[in-house]
Protein backbone atom coordinates (compact mmCIF):
# COMPACT_ATOMS: atom_id res chain seq x y z
CA UNK A 1 0.00 0.00 0.00
CA UNK A 2 1.47 3.41 -0.96
CA UNK A 3 2.40 5.81 1.80
CA UNK A 4 -0.26 8.47 2.29
CA UNK A 5 0.62 12.12 2.26
CA UNK A 6 0.53 14.30 5.34
CA UNK A 7 -2.50 16.57 5.81
CA UNK A 8 -2.00 20.19 4.86
CA UNK A 9 -2.81 22.51 7.74
CA UNK A 10 -4.35 25.78 6.70
CA UNK A 11 -5.41 28.89 8.53
CA UNK A 12 -9.13 28.19 8.20
CA UNK A 13 -11.15 31.36 7.77
CA UNK A 14 -14.84 31.83 7.21
CA UNK A 15 -15.60 34.27 4.46
CA UNK A 16 -18.47 35.12 2.17
CA UNK A 17 -18.01 34.27 -1.46
CA UNK A 18 -18.48 36.71 -4.28
CA UNK A 19 -18.46 36.61 -8.07
CA UNK A 20 -16.15 34.06 -9.71
CA UNK A 21 -15.33 32.30 -6.45
CA UNK A 22 -19.03 31.65 -5.83
CA UNK A 23 -19.53 30.33 -9.38
CA UNK A 24 -16.51 28.03 -8.99
CA UNK A 25 -17.81 26.71 -5.67
CA UNK A 26 -21.26 25.95 -7.12
CA UNK A 27 -19.59 24.11 -10.03
CA UNK A 28 -17.42 22.09 -7.60
CA UNK A 29 -20.47 21.17 -5.49
CA UNK A 30 -22.48 20.15 -8.55
CA UNK A 31 -19.64 18.02 -9.97
CA UNK A 32 -19.14 16.24 -6.65
CA UNK A 33 -22.86 15.49 -6.27
CA UNK A 34 -23.24 14.32 -9.85
CA UNK A 35 -20.14 12.10 -9.72
CA UNK A 36 -21.02 10.27 -6.51
CA UNK A 37 -23.79 7.67 -6.46
CA UNK A 38 -24.02 7.41 -2.69
CA UNK A 39 -24.15 9.68 0.33
CA UNK A 40 -24.59 9.31 4.08
CA UNK A 41 -27.83 10.66 5.52
CA UNK A 42 -27.91 11.70 9.19
CA UNK A 43 -31.28 11.80 10.93
CA UNK A 44 -32.31 12.23 14.55
CA UNK A 45 -34.92 10.65 16.73
CA UNK A 46 -35.60 8.84 19.98
CA UNK A 47 -32.52 10.44 21.51
CA UNK A 48 -30.09 9.14 18.89
CA UNK A 49 -28.50 10.24 15.64
CA UNK A 50 -28.82 7.67 12.87
CA UNK A 51 -26.61 7.40 9.75
CA UNK A 52 -27.82 5.68 6.58
CA UNK A 53 -26.32 5.09 3.18
CA UNK A 54 -28.53 6.45 0.40
CA UNK A 55 -28.57 6.67 -3.38
CA UNK A 56 -29.48 10.24 -4.22
CA UNK A 57 -29.88 12.90 -6.86
CA UNK A 58 -29.67 16.68 -6.58
CA UNK A 59 -31.54 19.31 -8.53
CA UNK A 60 -29.43 21.32 -10.98
CA UNK A 61 -29.83 24.45 -8.84
CA UNK A 62 -28.62 22.42 -5.80
CA UNK A 63 -31.67 23.45 -3.77
CA UNK A 64 -33.08 19.92 -3.42
CA UNK A 65 -31.95 16.34 -2.85
CA UNK A 66 -34.17 13.35 -3.46
CA UNK A 67 -33.82 9.75 -2.34
CA UNK A 68 -36.09 6.75 -1.89
CA UNK A 69 -36.58 4.66 1.23
CA UNK A 70 -38.86 1.86 2.32
CA UNK A 71 -41.56 3.16 4.66
CA UNK A 72 -40.70 0.46 7.20
CA UNK A 73 -37.29 1.91 8.17
CA UNK A 74 -35.81 3.98 10.96
CA UNK A 75 -34.77 6.71 8.55
CA UNK A 76 -38.38 7.07 7.34
CA UNK A 77 -39.65 7.22 10.93
CA UNK A 78 -36.98 9.73 11.96
CA UNK A 79 -37.62 12.05 9.01
CA UNK A 80 -41.37 12.05 9.59
CA UNK A 81 -40.75 12.88 13.26
CA UNK A 82 -37.85 15.35 12.83
CA UNK A 83 -37.31 17.17 9.54
CA UNK A 84 -33.76 18.40 10.24
CA UNK A 85 -31.22 16.26 8.37
CA UNK A 86 -27.74 16.42 6.96
CA UNK A 87 -26.17 14.58 4.06
CA UNK A 88 -22.47 13.87 3.53
CA UNK A 89 -21.15 13.43 -0.01
CA UNK A 90 -17.45 12.78 -0.56
CA UNK A 91 -14.98 11.45 -3.11
CA UNK A 92 -12.55 9.70 -0.75
CA UNK A 93 -12.74 6.46 -2.74
CA UNK A 94 -11.15 8.29 -5.69
CA UNK A 95 -8.35 9.85 -3.60
CA UNK A 96 -7.07 6.97 -1.49
CA UNK A 97 -3.44 8.08 -1.60
CA UNK A 98 -3.94 11.76 -0.84
CA UNK A 99 -6.01 13.10 2.02
CA UNK A 100 -5.34 16.58 0.64
CA UNK A 101 -7.22 15.81 -2.58
CA UNK A 102 -10.45 14.61 -0.95
CA UNK A 103 -13.52 16.80 -1.34
CA UNK A 104 -16.43 16.50 1.05
CA UNK A 105 -19.76 18.24 1.21
CA UNK A 106 -22.13 18.45 4.15
CA UNK A 107 -25.61 19.45 3.06
CA UNK A 108 -27.92 20.73 5.78
CA UNK A 109 -31.64 20.87 5.19
CA UNK A 110 -35.16 19.80 5.97
CA UNK A 111 -36.56 16.51 4.73
CA UNK A 112 -40.15 15.59 4.00
CA UNK A 113 -42.06 12.69 2.51
CA UNK A 114 -43.48 13.54 -0.90
CA UNK A 115 -47.23 12.99 -1.16
CA UNK A 116 -48.30 15.06 -4.19
CA UNK A 117 -48.48 12.70 -7.20
CA UNK A 118 -46.99 15.21 -9.67
CA UNK A 119 -44.04 15.80 -7.30
CA UNK A 120 -43.58 12.05 -6.92
CA UNK A 121 -43.47 11.58 -10.69
CA UNK A 122 -41.07 14.50 -11.22
CA UNK A 123 -38.59 13.49 -8.51
CA UNK A 124 -38.86 9.75 -9.29
CA UNK A 125 -37.83 10.49 -12.86
CA UNK A 126 -34.84 12.50 -11.67
CA UNK A 127 -33.70 9.81 -9.23
CA UNK A 128 -34.17 7.00 -11.77
CA UNK A 129 -32.29 8.98 -14.41
CA UNK A 130 -29.19 8.93 -12.17
CA UNK A 131 -29.88 5.42 -10.82
CA UNK A 132 -31.72 3.36 -13.49
CA UNK A 133 -31.16 0.20 -11.44
CA UNK A 134 -33.50 1.61 -8.75
CA UNK A 135 -36.54 1.82 -11.05
CA UNK A 136 -38.50 -1.05 -9.46
CA UNK A 137 -37.50 0.01 -5.93
CA UNK A 138 -38.54 3.65 -6.46
CA UNK A 139 -41.91 2.62 -7.91
CA UNK A 140 -42.70 -0.02 -5.26
CA UNK A 141 -45.77 0.59 -3.13
CA UNK A 142 -43.65 0.13 0.01
CA UNK A 143 -41.23 2.91 -0.98
CA UNK A 144 -41.54 6.64 -0.36
CA UNK A 145 -39.60 9.50 -1.86
CA UNK A 146 -37.95 11.94 0.51
CA UNK A 147 -37.20 15.46 -0.67
CA UNK A 148 -34.68 17.54 1.22
CA UNK A 149 -34.87 21.31 0.87
CA UNK A 150 -31.28 22.48 1.20
CA UNK A 151 -30.49 25.31 3.60
CA UNK A 152 -26.70 25.25 3.43
CA UNK A 153 -23.78 23.57 1.68
CA UNK A 154 -20.48 23.23 3.57
CA UNK A 155 -17.77 22.25 1.09
CA UNK A 156 -14.32 21.10 2.21
CA UNK A 157 -11.31 20.53 -0.01
CA UNK A 158 -7.55 20.49 0.49
CA UNK A 159 -8.07 18.88 3.91
CA UNK A 160 -9.25 22.04 5.73
CA UNK A 161 -10.35 24.61 3.18
CA UNK A 162 -14.01 25.21 4.06
CA UNK A 163 -16.49 27.20 2.01
CA UNK A 164 -20.17 27.74 2.75
CA UNK A 165 -22.94 28.39 0.22
CA UNK A 166 -26.65 29.02 0.72
CA UNK A 167 -28.62 28.01 -2.40
CA UNK A 168 -31.71 29.94 -1.33
* 106 located within any domain: yes
Question: Does the structure show a pLDDT above 70 at 152?
Answer: yes
* Antiparallel, parallel or unpaired: β 143-157 and 64-70: antiparallel
- Alpha-carbon Rg for the chain in angstroms: 17
Give 115-135 pLDDT, tens digit per residue: 999 999 999 999 999 999 999
For 12, 39, 54, the CA distances from 57, given in Å and listed in that order, are: 30, 10, 10
- Mean pLDDT for 39-57 is 95
How many folded domains does the chain comprise? 1
The CATH number of residue 78's host domain is 2.30.110.10
- Mean pLDDT for 22-27 is 90
* Antiparallel, parallel or unpaired: β 48-55 and 84-90: unpaired
* 7 located within any domain: no
d(CA 165, CA 167): 6
Query: What pLDDT score was predicted for residue 20?
Result: 67
**Which parts of 16-68 fold into alpha helices (H)?**
19-35
Question: Does the structure show a pLDDT above 80 at 14?
Answer: no
Give 61-90 pLDDT, tens digit per residue: 999 999 999 999 999 999 999 999 999 999
Per DSSP, the chain holds a count of helices (H) and strands (E) of 4, 8
3 — pLDDT class (breaks 50, 70, 90): low
Query: What pLDDT score was predicted for residue 42?
Result: 97
- Give the single-character DSSP code of 101: G
Question: Does the structure show a pLDDT above 80 at 12?
Answer: no
pTM, 2 dp? 0.85
* 10 located within any domain: no
Domain range holding 46?
19-163
d(CA 165, CA 153): 5
Query: What pLDDT score was predicted for residue 1?
Result: 45
Query: What pLDDT score was predicted for residue 15?
Result: 47
Amino acid sequence: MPKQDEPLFLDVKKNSLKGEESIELVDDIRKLCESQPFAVLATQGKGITHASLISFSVSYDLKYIVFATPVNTGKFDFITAEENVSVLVDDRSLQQDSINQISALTIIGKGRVLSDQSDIVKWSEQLIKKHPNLNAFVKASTTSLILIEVEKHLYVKNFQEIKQWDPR
